[in-house]
Amino acid sequence: MTKQTAVETAVRVDKWLWAARFYKTRSAAQQAIDGGKVRLNGERTKPAKDVKAGDRLSLHIGQYDWHINVLQVSSHRGPAPVARTLYAEDEESRIARENDIAKRRVTFEPAAARKGEGRPTKRDRRDLERWNDTE
């Protein structure tokens, strides 16, 4: 008896997002879908909803918005180059995302976000208090 592989025509949207490497785990994809950060063909969706070739997905991941068209379906996670063949990002979405990245590179980064800095120490706080008292 030989094992036959069935050609997939539709896959759960959470499984597809995981296979396309938008999320590290299926549970992270499910949480994003439940949180309203994923839209299938312009509508909110549920994790068990099927996605098929030709569908349009809108994702909000971190600070970025992705608008993609599903080209192929897969329920298996593979290497990144293969995962990129599962979808095509809209040109407007890609340009907007790249512009956001460029803006973030040139803007000022707050001190708390820099590595090794953050909340003032007790010594820093005392120095600030002394400085404020002298004025």
Question: The CATH number of the domain where 113 resides is what?
Answer: 3.10.290.10
Nearest CA to 14 out of 25, 3, 6 is that of 25
Longest CA span, the chain? 88
Residue 2 lies in a domain: no
Both tokens assigned to 41? 């063909």
Whether 4 is in a domain gets the answer no
88/76 Cα distance (integer angstroms): 18
Contact call for residues 42 and 51 (beta carbons, < 8 A): no
Classify residue 121: in a domain, yes or no: yes
Residue 92 lies in a domain: yes
pLDDT at site 31? 95
3-state helix/strand/coil string of 22-51: CCCCHHHHHHHHHCCCEEECCEECCCCCEE
pLDDT of residue 1: 44
For residue 3, being part of any structural domain is answered with: no
Extended strands (E) in 1-135 = 10-12, 38-40, 43-44, 50-52, 56-61, 64-70, 87-89
Whole-structure pTM value: 0.73
Please count the structural domains in the chain.
1
Q: CA-CA-CA-CA torsion for 55, 60, 65, 68, nearest 10 degrees?
A: -20
* Structure tokens that stand for 88 in this block: 């095509």
Dump pLDDT digits (tens) for 70-113: 999 999 999 999 999 999 999 999 999 999 888 888 776 555 55
Q: Give mean pLDDT, residues 47-52.
A: 94
The residue segments making up the domain with residue 87 are 10-134
In a domain, 1, yes or no: no
Classify residue 5: in a domain, yes or no.
no
Q: Is residue 56 included in any domain, yes or no? A: yes
pLDDT, tens only, 1-17: 444 455 678 899 999 99
Give yes or no for residue 52 having a pLDDT over 90. yes
